[in-house]
Amino acid sequence: MSSVTMSAFTCNVLLSLVAATFAYVNYNGISIRQVADDVMVHGEGPFWDSENNVLYFVDIAQRRVYRLVQKSLEYVQLNGEVGFVIPVAGRQGLFVVGIGTELSGLRWNLNETTCNVIGLATVDAEKTGNRWNDAKADNDGHLWAGTMGFEDASGYIPLGSGTLYKLNDTTCFQNLEPALPNVTVSNGMAWNNDSTRMYYTDSPTRQISVFDYNSTVASISNRRVFYDFKTDNIPGVPDGMTIDTDGNLWIANYNGGQVLHVSGTTGKLLGKLKIAAKKVSSVTFGGPKLNKLYVTTISRGVTAEKFKKYPMTGKVLEVSGLGVRGMPNRRVRNKCFLTI
Ligand SMILES: *[C@@H]1O[C@H](CO)[C@@H](O)[C@H](O)[C@H]1NC(C)=O
Ligand SMILES: *[C@@H]1O[C@H](CO)[C@@H](O)[C@H](O)[C@H]1NC(C)=O
Ligand SMILES: *[C@@H]1O[C@H](CO)[C@@H](O)[C@H](O)[C@H]1NC(C)=O
Ligand SMILES: *[C@@H]1O[C@H](CO)[C@@H](O)[C@H](O)[C@H]1NC(C)=O
Ligand SMILES: *[C@@H]1O[C@H](CO)[C@@H](O)[C@H](O)[C@H]1NC(C)=O
């Protein structure tokens, strides 16, 4: 159940280290460069803002939202673990963010040195240690946002303690709709071109699911397994994903050191993009032509020895030369935000 909260606080924008020069060629002419010198503890949720040509992403553990504006990297320090950041359509400088179990508005204009956070709703109140994880807006701007259970020091997360919520235009923040209960680590999502399918990941299942999607009412039905990591002996688990204009999926492979390219129709593995980091957390297409793949990775729990072997650990990366273009990242529709 969700409830309306009324907390608010102001924050300051901090300038981070500028984008670096480190780059190397991976294979087949694909080049990968790091866009930031900062080491992310838990980089996640990249969002390409096509209106302003700005890349947003979060560091969940450091409680930060970052933005890369040309060669300037800035961040805001929030007061809780932040799972996602998505702009609100038609509202320059307004975002929806998931902080802890609170869904909030973040006002953060380009060219401004302050920001503020407005609490909107709290979920999973009875589940201590839960927090927001990944979220996306569908092709029409309906927000889908999921939670996960508390991850202990050994990496164990209680099964089924998370929920995938939908923000609907009727009840808005008074009552977020629990669209899919009993998930452990909610991740993904992606929609195909004509919004007839939603791809979804509950990471510990090691599977990508697909639902039939009714875009008129933004509802899901008929869940089935779309891609199973067992099929191709893929290590680790699936994390964030995105979709290209061919309708194919790009899936971050946490504890697998790669991004998987999977056909969005047949579910066949098309390729593996190796990344010099084990914990690859999320991907999105960006750049003015939407032909760069941005990749976030995680450094938490990585030993100094592993850092040497995997120099892209904790980095935000830009992959060029894949020869595909992404579907644009969608903003959240303004309907529920009119008074914010
Ligand atoms: C920010 O500043 C730049 C350069 O001064 C300007 O081109 C741009 O329009 C400004 N953006 C916003 C959203 O104010
Ligand atoms: C919106 O979500 C609420 C809370 O779950 C639910 O009662 C209501 O039926 C939903 N409305 C629509 C139009 O889906
Ligand atoms: C929760 O999901 C798991 C699979 O992840 C399933 O085995 C279990 O039956 C589900 N429990 C409920 C109450 O639906
Ligand atoms: C979508 O859902 C609405 C309301 O339940 C229904 O009238 C409509 O036929 C559905 N569309 C499809 C394509 O199933
Ligand atoms: C997606 O839609 C665009 C525009 O309608 C079309 O050109 C493209 O072929 C479609 N892609 C797929 C995979 O259906």
Q: pLDDT tens-digit profile of 169-226?
A: 999 999 999 999 999 999 999 999 999 999 999 999 999 999 999 999 999 999 999 9
CA distance 283 to 46: 6
The string of pLDDT tens digits covering residues 250-282 is 999 999 999 999 999 999 999 999 999 999 999
Q: Provide the sign of the torsion angle of the four alpha carbons 19, 25, 26, 30, taken in this order.
A: positive
196: in domain = yes
Ligand 3 centre distance from Cα of residue 260 (Å): 27
Q: What percent of the chain has pLDDT over 90?
A: 80
Q: Is residue 142 part of a domain?
A: yes
> What is the tens place of the pLDDT at every residue in 117-154?
999 999 999 999 999 999 999 999 999 999 999 999 88
pLDDT at position 305 is: 82
For residue 326, being part of any structural domain is answered with: yes
For 133-159, b/e burial (b = at least 16 CB within 10 A) is bbbbbbbebbbbbbbbbeeeeeeebee
Of 124, 138, 202, 239, catalytic: 239
Domain housing 103 = 8-337
44 labelled binding-site residue:
yes
* Residue 2 included in any domain: no
Residue 3 lies in a domain: no
Task: Give the pLDDT confidence score for residue 8 in this predicted structure.
Answer: 62
Residue 133 annotated as lining a ligand binding site: yes
Beta carbon of 160 within 6 Å of any ligand 3 atom: yes
Pocket test for ligand 3, best of 148, 159, 182 (most atoms within 8 A of CB): 182
Looking at residue 325, what is its pLDDT? 96
Closest CA to 318 of 48, 17, 64, 39: 48
- Any domain includes 1: no
Instruction: Answer yes or no: is 322 within a domain.
Output: yes
pLDDT at 19: 43
Q: Is 247 in the pocket of ligand 5 (CB under 6 A)?
A: yes
Supply the pTM of this predicted model.
0.92
Provide the number of structural domains found in the chain.
1
Above pLDDT 70, what percent of the chain?
Answer: 92
Angle at 40 between CA 38 and CA 45, to 5 degrees: 120
Tokens for 170, please give them: 């009727």
Q: What is the pLDDT of residues 83-125, one digit of tens each?
A: 999 999 999 999 999 999 999 999 999 988 889 999 999 999 9
The structure tokens 């694909």 sit at 30
199 with 208: CB under 8 angstroms?
yes
Confidence (pLDDT) at 11: 64
330 is in an annotated binding site: no
Residue 18 has pLDDT above 90, yes or no: no
Distance 162 CA to ligand 3 centre (A): 12
| CATH code of residue 325 | 2.120.10.30
Q: Is 239 a catalytic site residue?
A: yes
Q: Mean pLDDT for the chain?
A: 91
Instruction: State the distance from the centre of ligand 3 to the C-alpha of 44, rounded, in angstroms.
Output: 27
